[in-house]
């Protein structure tokens, strides 16, 4: 199973992170400012309680009225992203990673309640943190599936990917990371489907992905069946003969 904290567990994590953040923030004499982490945490604590209460009231996978899943979830993601940015500025890499993990909780909540994801970046960052900690094939398969579900839940204007000028855009990173995680699962059927998605979604990046994939096949010593799939896509795309 992917270790996604529930909203109630996320609240407990947030309270532990709060003490670290405030201990680093207060000596700088910045308390009371608009971006004071104490203020942001005070906003997020009732937010996570509300997510848990809505789960209890409506059921874990029921649509919410008035597009609340989209509206509430993305608002929380933006606040959490502010807090993660402050953590980075304070040099608190571990706290930043933990906050980004909580973004996955919010993304999962939005999707369970049939909402749409607008604030994609903190979820993508959180999934990268979590994926790096996974090693079992089943967990990597589940992570690949979750990333695919997130892609389908992302707002259409983001998924349209009209502006490709920023290589760090979350939509691009999500697709590349999904392909990497699928490869690490050693599930060749899963790899094929994800690789097809990558070629369709990021045609300008696919060749370099497979070129780097071939290099990694040598470094990591992947099983022969995995190497065969990577080689097929690398060669077929290089010859423009993929079908």
| Helix, strand or coil, per DSSP, at residue 81 | helix
| Token representation of residue 119 | 């604030």
User: Which of 108, 133, 158 lies at the terminal end of a domain, its last residue?
Assistant: 133
Same domain, 230 and 156: yes
Residue 134 Cα to chain centre, angstroms: 14
Examine the domain organization and report whether 24 and 126 are in the same domain. Answer: yes
Q: What is the pLDDT of residue 177?
A: 98
Position 29 scores a pLDDT of 56
Domain extent at residue 230: 137-243
Q: Which of 74, 107, 133 is the last residue of a domain?
A: 133
> What is the pLDDT at residue 242?
57
146 and 203 both lie in a single domain: yes
Note whether 161 and 238 are same-domain residues.
yes
End-of-domain residue from the set 105, 133, 161: 133
* 106 & 159 share domain: no
pLDDT at position 35: 75
pLDDT at 93: 95
Please tell me the distance from the alpha carbon of residue 139 to that of residue 143, in angstroms, as a whole number: 6
Do 127 and 142 belong to one domain?
Answer: no
Number of domains in the chain: 2
pLDDT of residue 221: 87
The answer on 43 and 123 residing in a single domain is: yes
Does residue 122 share a domain with residue 229? no
Same domain, 188 and 86: no
Low-confidence ranges of the chain (pLDDT < 70): 28-34, 241-243
pLDDT value of position 22: 92
- 3-class SS at 30? coil
- Containing 126, the helix (H) or strand (E) segment is helix 121-131
The answer on 128 and 12 residing in a single domain is: yes
**For residue 136, what is the DSSP state?**
S
Instruction: Report the b/e string of 206-235 with b at 16+ CB within 10 A.
Output: beebbeebeeebeeeebeeebbebbebbbe
Residues 99 and 199 in one domain: no
């Amino acid at each position: 199973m992917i270790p996604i904290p529930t909203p109630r567990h996320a609240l407990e994590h947030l309270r532990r992170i709060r003490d670290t953040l405030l201990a680093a923030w207060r000596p700088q004499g910045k308390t009371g400012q608009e971006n004071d982490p104490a203020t942001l945490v005070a906003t997020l604590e009732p937010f996570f309680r509300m997510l848990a209460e809505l789960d209890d009231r409506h059921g874990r996978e029921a649509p919410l009225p008035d597009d609340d899943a989209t509206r509430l979830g993305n608002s929380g993601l933006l606040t959490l992203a502010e807090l993660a940015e402050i953590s980075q500025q304070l040099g608190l890499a571990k706290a930043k990673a933990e906050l980004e993990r909580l973004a996955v909780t919010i993304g999962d909540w939005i999707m369970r309640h049939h909402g749409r994801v607008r604030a994609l970046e903190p979820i993508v960052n959180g999934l990268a943190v979590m994926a790096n900690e996974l090693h079992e094939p089943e967990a990597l398969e589940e992570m690949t599936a979750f990333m695919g579900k997130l892609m389908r839940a992302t707002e259409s204007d983001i998924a349209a990917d009209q502006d490709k000028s920023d290589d760090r855009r979350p939509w691009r990173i999500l697709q590349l990371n999904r392909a990497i995680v699928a490869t690490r699962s050693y599930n060749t059927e899963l790899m094929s489907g994800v690789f097809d998605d990558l070629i369709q979604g990021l045609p300008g990046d696919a060749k370099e992905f497979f070129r780097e994939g071939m290099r990694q096949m040598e470094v990591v010593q992947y099983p022969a069946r995995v190497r065969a799939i990577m080689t097929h896509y690398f060669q077929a795309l290089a010859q423009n003969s993929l079908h």
